[in-house]
Structure formats: structure tokens, C-alpha cells
């Protein structure tokens, strides 16, 4: 068998058997708990700012409600991925 260095045309052609994959990164359990908890706490805080007794305009409260939901969804995604 010949080595790839002996054929100059093979050095530029990609290997068809090689498939580039993104490296998988797995966090430890503590990192997942802290990250998910931080997202969840921020989402709950943002949702609490949408109460009728909280100061602010109605548009600002709707924006905070949207952000709260986004942070809670981020918490779930952070835990699962």
C-alpha cells in the first residue's frame, strides 16, 4: 500500500470516508443544575415583573413577559443539551 505523501493528487482531495462532525460537549451535573437554575430564576423574576402591581408601562410588562418565557425555555434547553 502506498502512503498519501507518494501521490500529490491525493493530498488535496478529501477522504470520502471521513465525515466532519461537531465535537460533542457534555457538562457535568453541577454545571447543568447551576446553569438551568440561573435561567429559571431569571425567567421567574421577569415574569413577576409583569404583575399588575409592578411599576412600568403595559408595553414594558409584555416585553418582560416574553423575556421571562424565553428564559424559562432556555432553562429547559440548557438542562437537556
pLDDT in tens, 67-80: 999 999 999 998 88
Location of C-alpha cell 446553569:
35
Q: Is residue 71 part of a domain?
A: yes
Question: Domain count of the chain?
Answer: 1
Q: Is residue 10 part of a domain?
A: no
| Nearest-10 crossing angle of helices 29-48, 58-80 | 170
Q: Is residue 17 part of a domain?
A: no
Report d(CA 63, CA 24) in Å as an integer. 34
pLDDT in tens, 34-60: 999 999 999 999 999 999 888 889 999
Q: Is residue 49 part of a domain?
A: yes
Question: What's the confidence (pLDDT) of residue 70?
Answer: 96
Answer yes or no: pTM beyond 0.75: no
Q: Is residue 38 part of a domain?
A: yes
Q: Is residue 13 part of a domain?
A: no
In this structure, the number of other CB atoms found within 10 A of the CB of residue 55 comes to 7
Amino acid at each position: 500500500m502506498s502512503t498519501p505523501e507518494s501521490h500529490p493528487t491525493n493530498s488535496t482531495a478529501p477522504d470520502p470516508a471521513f465525515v466532519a462532525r461537531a465535537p460533542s460537549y457534555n457538562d457535568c451535573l453541577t454545571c447543568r443544575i447551576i446553569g438551568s437554575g440561573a435561567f429559571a430564576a431569571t425567567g421567574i423574576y421577569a415574569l413577576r415583573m409583569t404583575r399588575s402591581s409592578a411599576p412600568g408601562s403595559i408595553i414594558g410588562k409584555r416585553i418582560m413577559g416574553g423575556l421571562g418565557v424565553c428564559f424559562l425555555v432556555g432553562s429547559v434547553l440548557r438542562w437537556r443539551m
